[in-house]
Structure 1
Amino acid sequence: MPVHGLTPILLCLLPVWIIPSPAWGHPQLSECRLIQRTALCNDAKLSSVPPGLPRNIEELQLNYNHLQTLQDVSLLRYPSLTSLSVACNSLEKLESNTFQDLSLLESLNLANNNLYIGYPETSQALKKLPGLKVLDLSENKLEDEMAATLLQNLTSLEYLNLSGNLLQRLDETSFSDLNKLKELNLQRNIIFEIDGAFGSNSKLQRLNLAFNDLPCLIDFHMTHLVVLNASHNFIEWFISRQDLNDTFQLETLDLSDNKLLFFPFLPSHSNLRNLYLSHNRLRFYEQLADNATLPNSTTTVEFYNLRKNVSNVTAELWDDSLHGDISSLEILDLRGNQVEYFPYGFIQKMPFLSRLQMCTNCLESLNLTSEQFPGSLYELDISNNRLKQVVADEGTLTVLGNLTYFNLSLNDLDRLPSRLFSSLPSLRAVANAPGTVR
């Protein structure tokens, strides 16, 4: 999920002026570069906003300086500002009237400061920005209540970055005023619980929850979300609402580097194209469903809402329908799991699959014919498994005419189908470690 950065400046194409101006309370002169209506005052040892810039500047960058407070009068001279960046300073607070005459300000970057100290007064300052669309509060040591206070009444906000803070628990009050929010970055906090946090954010399309402490994501019902990154957590279960008739707009789901035990229980109707599940503990258990050697084993699992102490989900673990709608999948990344086989018909459910990454699993055989891999497949990586044979008939190889990359290395292959590689006209790269085919 992309993080909004600083506005790119074409220094080689535009005229640059050096504007010396007195730095309030600082013995040296500040140096700012003016490029059209953008003032670049980064890394200039400033302890306050320079007062000598043109009044009509629209963007002001004050990153990597020594500002501790934005005072009520700091920005009075620049009423045309639409973008302000004060990242990587020592900001502790913004006085309540800092933005009283900045009705045009749309983008505000306050990343990597100390706003946890003066967050109540800073909150009053932010409320005076009726058109604010982009806000970066990352790396400010903000806890749950502090963040909620800062976000009150920011109804125009579309992009919010809260990464690298100290958030632990999100609930229905966390983002309740942000009804226009489209993108939310919450990575690198210590979030362990989400309870109805996004009910007011019906326009949210991109959500980044990576590098947190989430143990599970159940009752997933955000039908409007397009990208969800929940990688690098401790998630054992991903369960979406199975009773919704709405089509989920989700296109990319990243659950890599978690502790998934089962293939995620995806929505019944979705547009999912990219599914990243690498480095989990995932495997399929369908073959155990009728295992007579385990008479006391169960084929269902129940999930409980501990707060209400009632059962709310019962799942039949061997039911193929729990894979959900994977008919639009183009990329499936299962690297570094414990997959021993594909359930019957699993591959056939993905007619548009183009990349299947299966390295470092436990596959012992691969039957390209019975699995019916689609003609859209151009990358197949089954390296570092336990493969002893690959089976494919001539008709199968004809279907796989678009296959460009085929990795069979680090297996224990006894045989390969005759004319396997010569029957794949688009093949450009084949990886097969020496001596793996006897």
Structure 2
Amino acid sequence: MKGTPLNDSSQLLTLTLGPVAHGGHTVARHDSRVVFVRHGLPGEVVTVRLTESEPSARFWRADVVDVLEASPDRREHPWPEADALRAARRGAAPVGGAEFGHATLQAQRQLKSAVLGEQLRRLAGLDRETEVEGVDDDGLGLHWRTRMAFAVTQDGRLGMHAHRSEEVIPVRSMPLATGAIEDLALWDLRWDGIARLEVAAPANGSEPLVVLWPREGLPAKERGKALSRAVAQLPEGVSVSSMDPETSQLLRWRGRSWVKESVAGFEYRVTGEGFWQIHRKAPETLMSAAMGFLQDGGFLREGASVADLYAGAGLFTAPLASAVGPAGAVLSVEGSPGTSRDARKNLHGQRQVEIVQGKVERVLRARPRRLDALILDPPRAGAGKTVVQQLVRSGPGGIAYVSCDPASFARDIGFFQDLGWEMRQLRAFDLYPNTHHLETVTLLTPSA
């Protein structure tokens, strides 16, 4: 487990790591100072390199560079570029995006369960231990990402950022990505004049899409040449678009500017700039859990009035429309104009569906209505107090809340409780193996 000490020995500390903390850290102490440490496990004795250590700061941050006493839950990291110990031997930082890869999958899920439980106790006053369920488990947590975003180094090599850094580290692999992305071997190509690229390879095997961002400041002629070179080196059967830096519009170069996704018999188009769950099994898993809670609770029936908030391309809108039928009513609200356009195309012909583009709180304020049930899947910041109050006023019998952040989720659960609601059911899913992230789905109802 040996790493090589970096040149500045004053930035090295030996610490005993304490419990896991939200954000992918363990908590340690140096004298009376709290230190948030990445790439360690509770109980380990490690050497760390301080990455943020202002004397006046309330806490410091650090990365593990050597393990003196290892946890039995530690394993060899499956992604070399994200391995903190290998990076330390090179005198470098690891790429971000796989900060739990040094732990066994079982240990990762135990850590995530501990974080979720701690956030619910601290922010909602709930003592609720929840098992984090594995999804499509291969034993290593690899080959699940259907979407990837890469930066590009100044010399045109594909890379990713180090944690909390603008530094771009070249990569030669990405084992978290599906085989369809790995097979493109984008790291073997040159990307001169390109600042960033994203790739989406749908789990249904349909045509992948690469979106290119040219470097800022390039004259139009040079920008066009850089994009032409980039497009020409990609294999046939891959759609390519670019983001216009002046208009922020997606420009189609080859194929189509969107991908086709399939979930439980529903078809979706998602543009290159649109949101879609990145784990290949995530859409089906979350749809099944959220719809299952509402259906089993008797909140969905023919003719019901329901809503899908933060609706994206309509992942939940489509099954809601099917559940309530032509006599029902579905309000689908999404803030992003491009993603809202996707939803309009995906739900075209469903007359019971009203698609509104705008911020959820503004739409609910402008269009108050009674609802029988709803699903909300907010971004990482959560729904917030104002939206929670608006939802309660709409009078639903049940709410399925899908969350990707345990802190904002627990905070919002506290808001619901303050208004006389309670959490009836809760499931947690490991849809981001080898990272600290997880997804939760809960059923909320008015208290008896």
Say yes or no: TM over 0.5.
no
Structure possessing the higher radius of gyration over alpha carbons: 1
More strand by share: 2
* Relative contact order, higher structure (CA 8 A, sep 6+): 2
Report the TM-score range of the alignment, normalised by the length of the smaller protein: under 0.3
- Structure 1 length normalisation: TM-score? 0.25
